[in-house]
Structure 1
Amino acid sequence: MKPLFLLLVAFLLAFLSQKLFLGQYGFPLSGRIAMCAMLFFTAIGHFAFTKGMTMMIPGNLPFKKEMVYLTGALEVFLGIGLLFEPTRNYAAWALLLFFILMLPANIYSSLKHIDYQKGTLDGPGPNYLWFRIPLQLFFMAWVYWFSIQY
């Protein structure tokens, strides 16, 4: 819920700031700035809640901690990539793939009741997927609309 709230607030602030400072509304840029801000926020979780995030990776895959750090760094770099014209489309398509690839980890963590912030097995469980999967699709639509469609 926090990432969605941040995304919407950042969009509103970017939208209004462009009108105030540039004299015009910048709908697509506001969407990309908001997604970048949200990705920065979610990337913090990869570094602040590493133990819980490693628990979200299914199976006996090696280098779980490194994968958590790498995906956090990817969120930062892809978010920045959305802001620049030469990299915008590449970053957007990479983010769409990233969101798709992260879905199994979200499903796995829900089924295993993982609370990634505490690093425990008393998380919200499968009911969380009723919110998480549509949210993931919303993020994908957002990236597509503001970064590829425009």
Structure 2
Amino acid sequence: MKPLIVLIGVFVLCLGITALIGSTEINLSGRIAMSAMLSFTAMGHFKFPDGMAMMMPPFFSAKKQIVLITGMIEVLAAVGLLVSSTIKITGILLIVFFLLILPANIYAAMKKVNLEKSDYSGNGINYLWFRIPEQIFFIAWVYYFAVK
């Protein structure tokens, strides 16, 4: 929920600022908002690595390293969305990334992982009723503002 609030909040703020300066660059506002959201979620990878590692099934090894690498991927994607020569490729790769991390989110919900507390007191399977549509929304957002 927090990433969605960041995304929409930054988007509305950017739209307001661009309207004040007389611009109608909605795609830039959308990319800035996604970039801010990715920066926000990347912080979680570095602040809560133990909880993030719990989101991965047991057959993964080097879980903390994967958490840190995926955090760096989010930082790089946040930058890539703002560099004109890399927008489209970043968007395509980000959509792939969002698809690849969805199973970890499903696993985490099934195991009730609370990534901030690094325990099993999370929302559980009902969280997926929000999380899966949210992930689809993020994919559609990136497609609309960066790929098409």
How high is the TM-score relative to the length of structure 2? 0.97
Q: 2:94 is paired with a residue of what secondary structure?
A: helix
Identity %: 49
* In structure 2, distance between residues paired with 1:105 and 1:50: 14
Corresponding residue for residue 10 of structure 1: 10
- Structure 1: give runs of 5+ residues left out of the alignment: none
Following TM superposition, the consecutive aligned residue runs of length 4 or more in structure 1 with deviations greater than 3 angstroms are: none
CA shift for structure 1 position 84 = 1.5
Instruction: Kindly state the Cα deviation for residue 19 of structure 1 after the two structures are TM-superposed.
Output: 2.4
Q: 2:13 is aligned with what amino acid?
A: L
1:86-107: per-residue Cα shift (whole Å, max 9, x none)? Answer: 1001100110000000000000
Superposition pairs of residues 74-113 of structure 1, within 5 angstroms: 74-113=73-112
Shift of 1:25: 2.0
Counterpart residue type for residue 45 of structure 2? H
C-alpha distance in structure 2 between counterparts of 1:121 and 1:19, whole Å: 45
Does the 8 Å CA contact 1:99/1:140 hold for their aligned counterparts? yes
Secondary structure of 1:119's counterpart equals coil
Instruction: Report the CA distance between 1:14 and its aligned residue.
Output: 1.0
Which residue number corresponds to residue 113 of structure 2? 114
Residues of 2 paired with 1:28 and 1:64: CA distance?
Answer: 35
Structure 2 counterpart of 1:19: 19
CA contact (8 A) 1:15 1:27 kept: yes
User: Does the Cα contact within 8 Å between 1:16 and 1:25 map onto a contact in 2?
Assistant: no
TM-score (norm 1): 0.96
Q: Gaps (5+ residues) in structure 2?
A: none
Q: Secondary structure at the match of 2:32?
A: helix
Residues 134-145 of structure 1: matches in 2 within 5 Å?
134-145=133-144
Displacement after TM superposition at 1:59 (Å): 2.1
Matches within 5 A, 1:49-68: 49-68=48-67
Inter-partner Cα distance in structure 2 for 1:36 and 1:30:
10
Alpha-carbon shift at residue 77 of structure 1 (Å) = 0.5
Cα distance in 1 for partners of 2:116, 2:56 equals 14
Residue 28 (structure 2) pairs with residue 29 (structure 1): yes
Aligned residues: 148
